[in-house]
Structure 1
Amino acid sequence: MRIGQATAADSGMSDQDRRQRGQAIINHTVSEWAIKYAATAKPLTAAQESQLMRAVFDELFRAGRLQPLLDDPNVENIIINGCDTVRVDYADRPSKQWEPIARSDKELVGLINHISRMQGQGERALTPARPNMNMRLADGSRLAASAWVTPRPQVVIRRHRTRGLGLEDLIGMGTIDSTLAAFLRAAVRARMNIVVVGSQGVGKTSLLRAMAREIPATERVGTLESEYELHLHEDPHGPEVVAYEGRESNGERGPDGKLHGEITLSDLFPQLLRMSLRRVIVGEVRSKEVVPMLHSMNEGEGGSMCTLHARSPQLSIERLATLCLEAGIGMTEALAYRLIAQAIDLVVYIRLVDETELVGPDGLPGRKHRFVSHVMEITGIGEGGRPSHQMVFAPREEGRVREARAVPHNNISPTRLSALERAGLDRRHLLHPWGTWGDSLQTVVPL
């Protein structure tokens, strides 16, 4: 009540000022309560009092009992099945069950809607009329929630721990080696159209973000996302960015069956292309936005990028074709394949090997390995009208030596090699049969 009265008295108060005012009121109120409490029980220590102030602030202004997990840099995913079943996936150790984050499922739904309002996304709410909700959090995490269409409320929060990292940082993390970094840097600067492919949670967005930071700062780039995850428009070291974000509906449908208030990526694409852009980056291609994306890759100067879910680099072609056919514009399979072959230069496949539940021969637990395993070049129309391709980078095995990560295979078309060299690639990088990974990838179970 005190906070509401204080902020109501100044309608022009910024969100930051409101939080600061709220923190001061919370500190004063908790201190008053602690003095009264000490008269009847054991006094709180300074640490306990500070912890209580932080918990009250989190409850009112942040994510409540979820906040400690959002503050932990090692948390990758938070998976919630009802208020009392919470699993936390870590980057460096096995998953763990967590304490309940709400006293009831109803309170859990209230917490999710509170988080939405605190993030300035009040138009996104979890209600019986809108039983599904997706939104971004202030730290770049992505939250997906469902209720009323599931036995209990379901919530998944996917963290983005690598925000602001570049290709050199990914070398240190073991995602790429210096040979791959040099190749990808040149590919971006040579304005090649690139699709980053992999399964869910492997690090596609992190790799795309790192590659996008290689775009010259003088270029004007458009990004298109369902929820902001790339955050290139907030990167002071990146290019000039026009960032577009889709919008969910209010849950109501008009006479034409369309959802009121909904703005899809395909709705935004025509406006995005009017913004005098040099490149377009689509955070994730999931639906009919695939068609304008491929057309923009074909018609523009090149250099556009996106991510895509697929189980192998080869299957990314089939996935793109399927999305084209599902777009509902009457596209034939032959035209879809032709459009893909003309639009895309490179497919970069990133893989995750999760061994955190295993124990090695040394008695130590396994870890998660995220690494690029393939770079595939699209070389035109091949047999049966499908796009032809060849592996520029791929795993290698010779005798007893095997490298599961991407190493050069010395396969690339002369035209593209020439473009890469003009963009700064030393072709000698492609002559190292084992790249610059050093020792082969060490896993508990051989790959």
Structure 2
Amino acid sequence: MNGAWPPRAETETTASAGDERAFREAVLSIATSVADDLKDTEDREAALQVIKAQVQRWTQQQIALGRAVSVGTQRKLVEAVADERFELGSLTPFIRDRRVESIDLNGCDQVWITYSDGTCRRGPVIASSDDDLIKMIQMWALHKSYNPREFSAASPLLNTALRPGDGEDGVGVRLSATMAVTPRPCASIRCHRLVDVTLEDLLKLGTINRSLYFFLKAAVLARLNIVVTGGTAAGKTTLLRALASVIDPAERLATLESDYELFLDKLTHRHQNVIAFQVRQANSEGAGGITLNDLIPHSLRKNIKRIIVGEVRADEIVPMFEAMNTGHPGSMCTIHADGTEEIFNRVVMLWTRGVGTQTPPAVVHLNTGQSIDLVVHLRLDPATNTRFVSEVLEVLPPADSELPSHNHLYRPTGPGGRAVPDITPQCLPRLKAVGFDPTLLDPMSARWEPR
């Protein structure tokens, strides 16, 4: 077919759709052709020279077919291919937009953008076909991941953290993708906006109030073992980072995660001495995998003073308990749960799922009561998309039943279900030893500022 490139359709609407589809196909074709040459390249400027040469070759092919390609289109192709290699393609502007919290892809043409105010809007088509979307995700998992991951029919479940690109703040995004087990390839991207965050920042944002600020700060300094709970997107990882900001900058830490999300090792102005561990997936033959259970012994040999386990989803539960019971008080982690008291049965379920053995619940409850000191629960208000601490539970060893004993230190009796002090904790002497003022537990002086 002769004429200009991209090809034009008969109507303005179909022309726009056709042009975009043809452009995306060209981008993917050129990106694939230079993939091997750019395999180990992290220098964008050097890569641009390789990409420009390939775009010129591609342009000559189009001219040979009788299709003219404008200089402007060639420039756009070069930048788009570079974005595919170093950024996230056509999603890059949304990743750079601080208002964007997440991006969901239900196939190549159903893109949903969720903003910080809770609104969800339709995004642009990201690929010309679902097969091309799979190729894009494979490229991200290979070139953008901190630890390259496979995404294929043989390995259809992908979870990984992606490195930031040029112009992106924070330290990256989290990618979860599926294929083969869903009718169409799907992906969800969570943007890390509050990475360098402190308890002071959360106080200003209204996630905590003055009472919780000093209480949680004292809990970290007193080396209590803390579990942060909450639902999806409640801000668990953000609160964990803020709690970690209280730790002495020179204290030697280890973070253990299935996928990098905490990035404390990147915040060298707050944490000067950090080892960040991440599991390694097995290869296609099932060999070479390294689990958190494998990493725990190695972290213990690294003169670590405090261990922080990221999100506990299944088999991370055992490393969590080991971290809290191996002479490293002050360990922390996050667990997905809908309430503080739900944590006990949730831990039993995670233990069973992760360990794969029928450990008696009473044994798991005993471990829970002996390991965890505090559970801090976050809520997300769907009406306002605001996050706040709603409860704090003190956990103690089992007494009259097999369940751990517990005290509701803060209950959700404040405005909108926000946490208000209720009773005096048994750990108060440890908190006072690091300077905590008990009068901050007076409900009358623990007000939440109106917002």
Considering the TM-score relative to the shorter chain, is it more than 0.5?
yes
Determine helix, strand or coil for the equivalent of 1:76: strand
Give 2:391's aligned residue: 374
Question: Retained in 1: the 8 A contact 2:410–2:421?
Answer: yes
Would the alpha carbon gap of residues 22 and 383 (structure 1) be closer, same or farther in structure 2, given more than 3 Å must change?
same
- Measure, in 2, the Cα distance between the counterparts of 1:91 and 1:213: 23
Segments of structure 1 that go 5 or more residues without pairing to the other structure are 253-258, 356-366, 442-447
Once the two structures are superposed, residues 368-402 of structure 1 have per-residue CA deviations (whole angstroms, 9 ceiling, x without a partner) of 110000111113323322111111112226xxxx4
Aligned length: 407
Once the two structures are superposed, residues 225-245 of structure 1 have per-residue CA deviations (whole angstroms, 9 ceiling, x without a partner) of 111100011111125211110
Question: Retained in 1: the 8 A contact 2:231–2:379?
Answer: yes
Give 2:405's aligned residue: 388
Question: Retained in 2: the 8 A contact 1:216–1:239?
Answer: no
Q: Which amino acid aligns with 1:270?
A: P
- Measure, in 1, the Cα distance between the counterparts of 2:187 and 2:240: 26
Match of residue 281, structure 1, among 308, 311, 314: 308
- Measure, in 2, the Cα distance between the counterparts of 1:29 and 1:322: 53
* 2:106 equivalent to 1:74: no
Give 1:161's aligned residue: 193
Give 1:352's aligned residue: 380
- Measure, in 2, the Cα distance between the counterparts of 1:124 and 1:316: 31
Determine helix, strand or coil for the equivalent of 2:214: helix
- Measure, in 2, the Cα distance between the counterparts of 1:323 and 1:216: 31
Q: How does 1:237-252 map to 2 (within 5 A)?
A: 237-252=270-285
* TM-score, normalised relative to structure 1: 0.82
Would the alpha carbon gap of residues 76 and 2 (structure 1) be closer, same or farther in structure 2, given more than 3 Å must change?
closer
- Measure, in 2, the Cα distance between the counterparts of 1:304 and 1:76: 28
Q: Which amino acid aligns with 1:84?
A: D
Determine helix, strand or coil for the equivalent of 1:68: helix
Segments of structure 2 that go 5 or more residues without pairing to the other structure are 1-29, 165-171
Give 1:138's aligned residue: 163
Cα deviation for residue 199 of structure 1 reads 1.0
Would the alpha carbon gap of residues 323 and 28 (structure 1) be closer, same or farther in structure 2, given more than 3 Å must change?
closer
- Measure, in 2, the Cα distance between the counterparts of 1:322 and 1:3: 43
Cα deviation for residue 74 of structure 1 reads 1.3
Determine helix, strand or coil for the equivalent of 1:308: strand
Determine helix, strand or coil for the equivalent of 2:282: coil
Q: Which amino acid aligns with 2:377?
A: Y
Give 1:152's aligned residue: 184
Determine helix, strand or coil for the equivalent of 1:283: strand
* 2:232 equivalent to 1:221: no
* 2:155 equivalent to 1:115: no
- Measure, in 1, the Cα distance between the counterparts of 2:372 and 2:139: 42
Question: Retained in 2: the 8 A contact 1:3–1:21?
Answer: no
Q: What RMSD in Å do the two structures reach over aligned CA positions?
A: 3.1
Match of residue 212, structure 1, among 244, 248, 264: 244
Cα deviation for residue 65 of structure 1 reads 1.3
Give 1:197's aligned residue: 229
Determine helix, strand or coil for the equivalent of 1:396: coil
Once the two structures are superposed, residues 173-209 of structure 1 have per-residue CA deviations (whole angstroms, 9 ceiling, x without a partner) of 2111222111111100100000000111111000001
Give 1:421's aligned residue: 432
Give 2:18's aligned residue: none
Question: Retained in 1: the 8 A contact 2:412–2:420?
Answer: yes
Cα deviation for residue 272 of structure 1 reads 2.0
- Measure, in 2, the Cα distance between the counterparts of 1:106 and 1:2: 15
Match of residue 405, structure 1, among 418, 427, 439: 418
Determine helix, strand or coil for the equivalent of 1:233: helix
Would the alpha carbon gap of residues 313 and 106 (structure 1) be closer, same or farther in structure 2, given more than 3 Å must change?
same
Question: Retained in 2: the 8 A contact 1:408–1:433?
Answer: no
